[in-house]
Structure 1
Amino acid sequence: MIDPPADIRRLVYLGTPHESVPFLEALATAGFDVALAVTRPDKRRGRRAEPTPSPVKAAAQELGIPVFSDVDDVLDADADLGVVVAFGQIIKPHVLNRLAMVNVHFSLLPRWRGAAPVERAILAGDQTTGVCLMEVAEGLDTGRVYRRVEMPIAPDITAAALRAELVDIAVPMLVDALNEGLGVPEPQQGEPAYAAKITRDELRLDWGQSAESLHRQVRVGGAWTTWRGKTLKVWAAHPVEGSQPPGELDGVLAGTGQGLLKLVEVQAEGKSRQAAEDWLRGARPTLGDRLGS
């Protein structure tokens, strides 16, 4: 692992999903010479579908930036620095020993190292989060931190909306840091917490839990329960005061272990998303019907 030079002008960029695109576009707009981009290979969305490029590949091609899928290609780019944002691949030591790299990470490290920091912060009920610009090291998000910006987590914000807000504050942070010089990074301080990828089982709504806890699962996206033996996704809801048996419905109000969860938008198995009131008119709950059964 090596340190970046004081003057950074020529970059390579490594990223994949939509949230990576604004960083690439901002670097190009700011006048940095982006020698190439590395992203995942094209993927098919169906058996007969044409391979689809990643959002970063599509954006790079629009900017006239060469695109590769092998990380080792950065070694021939004669770059000053590699910039990594939601790349999704391990960068091996032989690359880090030849080219300094920084990573934009969507948490206040060392809290929530790993793949799903935004989702884990919401599930844990964190009040604040932020972004870090850190050096890429061999360990999982263990590198020293060049810059960090903190922000509150609004009580009703979804993971998607929170990630968008973090991108909005992280893009200028990255550009300013590269223009002004990275400076001396600081070691991470505090007890690490790890943000493993969210599993489907973690998003199953247990109606014996509190309404606040269930609300956090819904905010992550993809929360689900069952209704008459079939999957019912809950896309929007919010907690309200009240009490009734867990899973029991009174209109759009669902009983929980503590408080009520007001259903706002749901999706029955094999159907499109719809307002909870519209779903109820078709579902026609009867005595004894409960969510989770």
Structure 2
Amino acid sequence: MAFAGTPDDAVPTLRALAGAGFEIPVVVTGAPRRRSRRGSDAPSPVGAAAAEIGLAVSHEPADLVSCGADCAVVVAFGQLIAAELLAVTPMLNLHFSLLPRWRGAAPIERALLAGDDRTGVSLMALEPSLDTGPVYWQHEAPIGLADTAAGLRGRLASEGADRLAASLAEGLPTPQPQSGTPTYARKLTTEDRRIDWSQPAVFIDRQIRVGGAWTTLDGERFIIRAGRPADSSRDAVHDAPPESAAAHDGPPGTLAGDAVATGHGLIRLATVQPAGRGAIDAHAWLRGARLPDGARFD
């Protein structure tokens, strides 16, 4: 079978298939690109893994058909595969949601932002339309109160890879049409990650756990890498420093110690990244920042 994928999310599946002894004549992935400002072009995570395993690498989707494989597995490839290719070679897609909920580019992030209490992995037959194919199986996973998008992604990638390799070895069941109301997971924008402090703490907590949540302080971008609602069960396992207020009367965005007022409840900061600096423990940042009383995130 051929394989198509690009990011880290797809690497566990490639390794699982290769480790299970499946013949993989070609791995199609995104072209090399610069990963940092000063770096040179580097292969995608899937391209690097394929080269390490000793598999042929291509950047042309047509090679999924021309390689002669009887089917192809696609995981987070990042490109739509043309209908004429799908008409020649059947393709399986491992998708990180419980379809038809969260079809599209950012299913894990959208599930987390929406406050879903569960997500999962679906194996479907790939169709020209977006994530509409019949489903062979689904693997469900809970979303915990402290789960991050990065953590969920790693867990689903690993569990989905193992389940896929095992199900291919055993033989796939007959796929069933998707059932339920579809929702769509459009890619997150910079504005989706911007914190509106008038929102409740539980929603802002989910933004932070998605990753890249930001606000501004004195007109400069300020990223909040980790935090938690001050009144949640997550807070009980942490010792609150004496300067943290249980509540205060400031408007949303106002800092009181390591706590920030929201539209409902407080967010306690854990790890922050001021403009032009790396990530730092929030208490260390507060000690050095010497903020005036009433300092406020915009």
Question: Could you state the TM-score of these two structures normalised by the residue count of structure 1?
Answer: 0.94
Change (3 A) 1:162 1:47: closer
In 2, Cα distance between the equivalents of 1:203 and 1:284?
27
Q: Tell me if the contact between 2:119 and 2:141 (Cα under 8 Å) persists in the aligned partners.
A: yes
* 2:176 aligned partner: 186
* 1:249 aligned partner: 255
Pair 1:260-2:266 in alignment: yes
* 1:288 aligned partner: 294
* 1:279 aligned partner: 285
User: How much has 1:80 moved relative to structure 2?
Assistant: 1.4
In 1, Cα distance between the equivalents of 2:26 and 2:177?
30
3-state SS of 1:167 partner? helix
* 1:82 aligned partner: 72
In 1, Cα distance between the equivalents of 2:36 and 2:287?
34
User: How much has 1:47 moved relative to structure 2?
Assistant: 6.6
Change (3 A) 1:288 1:250: closer
In 2, Cα distance between the equivalents of 1:47 and 1:231?
20
Map Cα deviations across residues 65-100 of structure 1 (whole Å, 9 max, x no partner): 100001011222111110001100110001000000
In 1, Cα distance between the equivalents of 2:215 and 2:34?
30
* 1:199 aligned partner: 189
In 1, Cα distance between the equivalents of 2:71 and 2:109?
29
In 2, Cα distance between the equivalents of 1:48 and 1:266?
25
Pair 1:17-2:7 in alignment: yes
Map Cα deviations across residues 4-63 of structure 1 (whole Å, 9 max, x no partner): xxxxxxx10000011211111111110100010000111123576321000111111111
User: How much has 1:185 moved relative to structure 2?
Assistant: 0.2
* 1:146 aligned partner: 136
Pair 1:230-2:217 in alignment: no
In 2, Cα distance between the equivalents of 1:93 and 1:219?
36
In 2, Cα distance between the equivalents of 1:216 and 1:175?
32
The one-letter code sitting in structure 2 at the alignment partner of 1:34 is I
Question: Could you state the TM-score of these two structures normalised by the residue count of structure 2?
Answer: 0.92
Pair 1:65-2:45 in alignment: no
Map Cα deviations across residues 104-140 of structure 1 (whole Å, 9 max, x no partner): 0000000000000000000000001110000100110
* 1:54 aligned partner: 44
* 2:206 aligned partner: 216
State the aligned residue count. 282
3-state SS of 1:213 partner? helix
Runs of 4+ residues over 4 Å off in structure 1: none
Stretches of structure 1 that go unaligned for 5 or more consecutive residues are 1-10
Q: Which moved more, 1:199-208 or 1:212-221?
A: 199-208
In 1, Cα distance between the equivalents of 2:101 and 2:35?
34
Change (3 A) 1:42 1:148: same
3-state SS of 1:71 partner? coil
Aligned counterpart in structure 2 of residue 41 of structure 1, from 31, 41, 48:
31
Aligned counterpart in structure 1 of residue 81 of structure 2, from 88, 91, 95:
91
Q: Tell me if the contact between 1:228 and 1:289 (Cα under 8 Å) persists in the aligned partners.
A: no
In 2, Cα distance between the equivalents of 1:228 and 1:16?
39
Pair 1:128-2:132 in alignment: no
Change (3 A) 1:128 1:47: closer
User: How much has 1:249 moved relative to structure 2?
Assistant: 1.1
